Homo-oligomer: A and B are copies of this chain.
Amino acid sequence: MKSAIESLNRKIRESGYRMTKQRAVVLEELSKTNDHPRADEIYQRVRRRLPNISFGTVYRNLKTLKELGLVRELNYGKKFSRFEVNIGKHHHFICLGCGRVYDLDIVPSRKLCEEAAQKTGFEVADCRVEFYGYCDAKEKRNLSDTEIDE
């Protein structure tokens, strides 16, 4: 696992960036969860370890990590973004009740993309499948989480 961090460090440095405590912790916190936190949730978590980190730093690092392809930004509704470490193609289940986002390792059929390409005549680069429903989590997240459009 050490080599993973090493190669990560190398990648960051090669891009002209530096590996700071703040950047590392943002990435670590995002790596150890699969609950697709918002920027403010990431800020709260990182703050437990780096009490003086500022919101701007979290945003800046999320942006940087996104540029490096290490982090993905997800938008469900237009109020805020959610973030996840980039772990390749997968899809999501979004709870209409509490706003939680879950990973699914379902692989969408190639057929579907081909069908879309045929029908449109356009080049289809990507296909996202999102399932909506209600999860069984007991505690609701805070209100702003529930503001899923439609």
Copies in the complex: 2
CB–CB A109/B106 < 8 A: no
Q: Does A35 contact B (CB under 8 A)?
A: no
Looking at the complex, which one of B72, B117, B126, B134 makes contact with A123 (CB distance below 8 Å)?
Answer: B134
CB–CB B133/A119 < 8 A: no
Q: Does A11 contact B (CB under 8 A)?
A: no
| Tier of interface size on chain A | 35 or more
Q: A129-140 vs B: 1/0 string, CB under 8 Å?
A: 111111110000
CB–CB A96/B125 < 8 A: yes
Contact A75/B76 with A125-B96, A129-B129, A131-B127 known, Cβ cut-off 8 Å: yes
22 pairs, CB–CB < 8 Å, chain A vs chain B: A78-B78, A81-B149, A93-B116, A93-B122, A104-B116, A104-B120, A106-B116, A106-B119, A108-B129, A109-B109, A120-B131, A122-B133, A122-B135, A122-B136, A124-B131, A125-B134, A126-B133, A127-B129, A127-B132, A128-B129, A128-B130, A129-B130
Closest 5 CB pairs of A and B: A78-B78, A126-B132, A124-B133, A116-B131, A125-B133
